[in-house]
Structure 1
């Protein structure tokens, strides 16, 4: 089986690439083209018989057509993901997330791809109107980022309905773990505590999240890709467990035996009507379709994440003195 992973140089994409290789797949891994020739989190991985690393940009339709040649399954993860930056550069999000998805769908259609896994996000639901959130929950564009992902999912769905492209919308909730960008709250806290700071500035810590360990998220992607009944469906990848950001941070502080003080920084607060205050995902559909459900507890996942970030070699790749939008 030959698979393409777009966004393979990123947090989830690099873990997914490793998982697919472990399952015996031939993987074409797309890293965003850059003048530094950086492979992101695939740095140091050599191109082998079953791994082909390519550089490019999903915003180019001709390039997308080229990388879909001879591929069986596309895992489309390439996207701009930072919510704060989407307030400043919304057009970039439309170009990458919406147009990029259009380009990939068109290329997949032309090459007769057997499965197209579109990566969604729980942010498309906005603040929960009811919990746990199932796939029928209304979509609410509370940031330009979430709007672009709603648009990207709609494009992929349209290719299923109009052209019979075998699309599956995989909708992971808040994934965390080793290699996550410091734009997210969990690596922000862990990396700063590991660096020895005694006070950490934060945005609102009252919202709740359904935190999902990265290896569980990746296994969810794989299970869906192998499920014929999932074609044409939107499927949550969630733990069905809710915890506040504040409680999560306190768990991290305890795991790291830290006395760090958390401070609210108004500059880091989202606009009031843009903040997503509650996310708790229903994973019944995933279990029904595939028999799989995430199994890593929040305590186990945080402990593994802390262990990775506490390694000086890993920590050195993070700029803990800067605020990442």
Structure 2
């Protein structure tokens, strides 16, 4: 699908990945409507920090993904929907699981139902590598079993199945993009990389962290954004689940060491019990097989391997070190 002359709706446009995706789409000359969460501050989240040239090109819709009427109104006149709106923090899903069902499952139902009724040409639904749980085999292909090891991952499994059910039942043109651990500028400090960076940048050298032994497949946000656009553009992606990962496995502990090297800091790590997941809920190992993405949509990561991770971390550190960015984070407390 050629996205030129298409109206593109991005839900979750105010968030970490969503704001980067909106900016890239606008830079490419596309017509974008940004769906942001309504609030009385009239804040557009991270889009408030976008360049003026990007902001003046945007059509912004404030609403709530949980409301089917607002979702349908936002989608009117749109040809393509990139659905990123979701609750994503795993610790908060232990705290308030009901909100994850409403936002992730029902929100996705609202999107695909409206897409069906309005005749939208393409829906790209956002999954997560967390749906795989601890790897039973590596690298993890799209055929890996799904395991709900947290309320968050269970809600995303439900959302994925809801989206794909509309493809199977009504031939709604749905594709599922399944990004592995995306990182980069603007990411919430609930995630490990911003947690480490913000603590070091604020002068701390005794870092409060959770488990260090689990492994992850980190994906720089620029690669993730290109992946979403490639899924949207590809006619071969309809009815498919596609991993977006770097195919490079690294432990949390080794990642912390690499961040400290990039920031030229000597650190010690203190285990903070509140940051540990319950034993059976911890995802011990993630490592993406990305050959399907290469074959089907022509996507491969530019920030691949150890050196790609180091390059992405350097760009991320540079962004967080700017005082105007760092002040937005509360590095002295645990952000669930």
TM-score normalised according to structure 2 size: 0.95
Aligned with 1:118: secondary structure?
Answer: strand
Aligned with 2:77: secondary structure?
Answer: coil
Render the CA deviation track for 1:52-102: whole Å, top value 9, x for unaligned: 111110100000110010101100000000000101100000000000000
> 1:44 offset after TM fit, Å?
4.4
Deviates more, 1:77-86 or 1:44-53: 44-53
Query: Which residue of structure 2 aligns with residue 13 of structure 1?
Result: 18
Query: Which residue of structure 1 aligns with residue 3 of structure 2?
Result: none
> 1:48 offset after TM fit, Å?
5.4
Where structure 1 has 5 or more consecutive residues not aligned to the other structure, the ranges are: none
Query: Which residue of structure 1 aligns with residue 277 of structure 2?
Result: 270
Q: Identify which of 149, 165, 171 aligns with 2:178.
A: 171
Aligned mates of 2:37, 2:330 — CA distance in 1: 21
Render the CA deviation track for 1:184-239: whole Å, top value 9, x for unaligned: 00001101101111211111010000000001000000001111111000000001
Aligned mates of 2:256, 2:94 — CA distance in 1: 25
Contact persistence 1:25–1:50 (CA under 8 A): no
Aligned with 1:43: secondary structure?
Answer: helix
Aligned with 2:334: secondary structure?
Answer: coil
* Count of matched residue pairs: 325
Query: Which residue of structure 1 aligns with residue 32 of structure 2?
Result: 27
1:164-313 matched pairs, under 5 angstroms: 164-296=171-303, 297-313=308-324
Change (3 A) 1:231 1:306: same
Query: Which residue of structure 1 aligns with residue 164 of structure 2?
Result: 157
Q: Identify which of 133, 141, 144 aligns with 2:148.
A: 141
Render the CA deviation track for 1:123-156: whole Å, top value 9, x for unaligned: 0000000000000000000000000000000000
Query: Which residue of structure 1 aligns with residue 89 of structure 2?
Result: 82
CA RMSD in angstroms comes to 1.0
Deviates more, 1:197-206 or 1:173-182: 197-206
> 1:38 offset after TM fit, Å?
1.1
Change (3 A) 1:255 1:92: same
Render the CA deviation track for 1:148-184: whole Å, top value 9, x for unaligned: 0000000000010111110000000000000000010
TM-score normalised according to structure 1 size: 0.98
Where structure 2 has 5 or more consecutive residues not aligned to the other structure, the ranges are: 1-5
Query: Which residue of structure 2 aligns with residue 314 of structure 1?
Result: 325
Deviates more, 1:260-269 or 1:111-120: 260-269
Contact persistence 1:28–1:51 (CA under 8 A): yes
1:58-77 matched pairs, under 5 angstroms: 58-77=65-84
Structure 1 consecutive aligned stretches of length 4 or more whose deviation exceeds 6 Å: none
